[in-house]
Copies of this chain bind each other. A is one copy, B any other.
Amino acid sequence: MRCQSGVEMEEASRTRASFSRRVLNGLLLCSGDMDHLDKYMKDKSFVLQLAVCGLRGVTRVILANNPLSGGLILTALYWASPWQGLLGTLGVLASTLTAVITGQDSVEVAGGHHGFNGMLVSLLMGVYSSAGDWYWWLLLPVFLGSATCVFLFSGLSSFLDHWDLPAAVFPFNIIIILYLLCTCPEHPYFPHHSVKPPGALEPNATELIALQVIRGIPLGVGQIFACGDLGPSLLILGAVFLYSPLLAVHALLGSTVGTLTGLSMAVRHESLYSGLSGFNGALGCMAVGGFFIFSLWTHLFAIASAFFSAYADIALSNLMGTVGLPACSWAATLVATLMLLLTGSLAAYRIPIGQVRAPERNLQLRSQWEAGNTEERESADV
Taking Cβ atoms with an 8 Å cutoff, the residues of A that contact B are 99, 102-105, 144, 148, 151-152, 154-159, 162-163, 177-179, 181-184, 186-189, 199, 201, 264-266, 304, 307-308, 311-312, 314-316, 318-319, 322-323, 337-339, 341-346
Contacts and interface: CB of A to CB of B under 8 A. Distances in A.
B179 A342 contact: no
A308 B151 contact: yes
11 contacts: A102-B345, A148-B308, A155-B338, A155-B342, A158-B341, A181-B314, A181-B315, A182-B199, A182-B311, A189-B264, A189-B265
A322 B319 contact: no
B182 A315 contact: yes
Given A102-B346, A315-B179, A339 B155 contact: yes
A367 B343 CA distance: 36
A6 B70 CA distance: 80
Contacts of A177: 315
Copies in the complex: 3
Given A102-B346, A158-B163, A182 B341 contact: no
Contacts of A159: 163, 341
Nearest to A140: B264
Given A102-B346, A158-B341, 11 more contacts: A103-B345, A104-B344, A105-B343, A105-B344, A151-B342, A154-B344, A157-B343, A181-B319, A182-B199, A182-B311, A322-B323
Contact of A188 (B103, B181, B266): B266
A201 B154 CA distance: 36
Contacts of A343: 104-105, 154, 157-158
Nearest to A150: B344
A318 B181 contact: yes
Contacts of A155: 337-339, 341-342
A157 B163 CA distance: 12
Nearest to A198: B182
Nearest to A343: B154
A269 to B, nearest CB: 14
A278 B376 CA distance: 63
B319 A323 contact: yes
B102 A318 contact: no
Contact of A344 (B102, B182, B183, B322): B102
A267 to B, nearest CB: 9
